[in-house]
Amino acid sequence: MRLTYQPITQQDVENIFRMTKEHILQYENLKLIDCDQVFAWCHRKIEHQSGDYRRIFCGEELAGYVAVHEESDTKREIDDFYLLEPFRKKGIGTQVLNQIIENAKRDGKTLFLYVFIRNEGAVRLYRKMGFKVTETIKDSRYIMERK
């Protein structure tokens, strides 16, 4: 399957924020956070870092979103990686990650990401792709890294 990428639009900012909010409500321990404050921060982050985000297309159809940005000279972060429901469990996530991993290898970068511990499918995918847990945050999220 052929994947292509395009920059996001303003409408995509709202779609990504909606997906982010849904993930927080589904996987975060809501007793540990101020939801309004966290949601406001997430929306600002997506808007301010919109240049790091890409729309993922499978053929002509929008399949999801991903952001990749430089954290330092040696580290690159994968952020807000979402696939739309009809495109899940079809190997697309693996294909996107393989491309990101190859780019990081070529550039000599270590990849890292944050993932909710309770998002077992995502954790399983990242482990399969060679990511290892390097830190646990408030029994809610892992930081996973791939060298």
| Cβ(82)–Cβ(92) below 8 Å | no
Expressed as residue numbers, the domain containing 127 is: 3-146
Give the sign of the dihedral formed by CA 119, CA 125, CA 128, CA 130: negative
pTM of the model: 0.93
| Domain CATH number, residue 19 | 3.40.630.30
- Ranges of residues in the chain with a pLDDT under 50 are none
Q: What is the pLDDT of residue 1?
A: 78
Question: What pLDDT, on a 0 to 100 scale, did the predictor assign at position 125?
Answer: 96
Burial class (CB in 10 A: 0-12, 13-18, 19+), 40: exposed
Q: What is the pLDDT of residue 45?
A: 97
Structurally, the chain folds into a number of domains equal to: 1
Q: What is the pLDDT of residue 113?
A: 98
DSSP single-letter state for residue 108: T
Tokens 């956070």: give the residue.
Answer: 33
